[in-house]
Amino acid sequence: MNKPKILVGCPTSFHKEYALEQYAESIKALTYPNYDILLVDNSKDDVYFKRIKKLSLPVIKGPWFESARDRIVASRSILREKVLKENYDYFFSLEQDVLPPKDILERLLKHNKKLITAVYFANNVIPSSQTSELIPLVYKLIDENTLDMRSLNEAELWKNPGLMEVVSAGLGCVLIHKDILEKVKFRYEKNTFDDRWFFIDCYNKKIKVFADTSIKCKHLIFNRPYPWSKIKK
C-alpha cells in the first residue's frame, strides 16, 4: 500500500536563525518514508536563504512585505499551492522553532484524520503577578456563540492523553489533508495571525479538528535572541 505523500515545511526568515541547525537536524531525522521538505524564506535579502541552503534544506524565496503577517500568509500560501498542484496528500506545517518526535508523521497518520495537531507550548506572561506559565497551543471550545476557547488542561495533556476533538491550535505542528487546503486558504484579519483564522474558517465550514495530546513537541521559545513584540506585525 502506498504511503501518503507529505510536504513538510513552513514560512521562515532570519528571525528564526537561532533554531535553524536544530530544525534541520530534526526535520531530516523524521522516520516517515514519503515526505519532501520545503522552507519559504521571506527575509528581505538572500543572506538567510543562503544559510539554509548550506544545510541542504530545500528552500525558495517568498515575497517581502513590511508586515510580518503579510509575509507569513504569502509564504504559507506558496506551500498550500505546491501541495495542491503537485498532488501531495498532506501538508505538515512544522514551524522552524518546533522540534517533533522522529515518528510524529506515523503517529498522526494512524488516526486517519484530515486535520490533526500535536502539542507544543508557548510562554504566557501573567501581568498581574509578573510571572509566566507554559500553555499548550491547542484549544477546546467553551461557547459556540462567541467562539470562546480554553487551552487544554492538565488532565487532557498528562493524565489521559490521546486523540480528542478540539477547535483550534497553532500552525506549529499540524497535519492538513489536501481536501482541507482546497476549502480553506491562509489569511488574517485585524490584529491576529493566520493560524487563528485558519481554524475559524474550518469551524465555519464544519471541518473537524483533532489533537493527539500524547505527542508533545519541543518549542524553542527560550532560545529567541529577540522579543517577538519588536517585530512589526
Domain ranges for the chain:
6-230
Whole-angstrom distance, CA of residue 226 vs CA of residue 233: 14
126 vs 148: CA distance, rounded Å: 19
The model's pTM is: 0.92
Rounded distance, CA 229 to CA 231, Å?
6
The single-letter code of the amino acid at 207 is I
Count of CB atoms situated within 10 Å of the CB of 157 = 18
> For each of the chain's 233 residues, which pLDDT tens digit applies?
689 999 999 999 999 999 999 999 999 999 999 999 999 999 999 999 999 999 999 999 999 998 889 999 999 999 999 999 999 999 999 999 999 999 999 999 999 999 999 999 987 654 454 555 789 999 999 988 888 899 999 889 999 899 999 999 999 999 999 999 999 999 998 778 899 999 999 999 999 999 999 999 999 987 666 655 555 54
Locate 18 and state its grid cell. 537561532
Our CA angle for 118, 119, 121, nearest 5°, is 155
Please provide the CATH number assigned to the domain covering 6-230. Answer: 3.90.550.10
pLDDT in tens, 140-196: 999 888 888 999 998 899 998 999 999 999 999 999 999 999 999 999 987 788 999
- Pairwise CA distance, residues 175 & 172, whole Å: 10
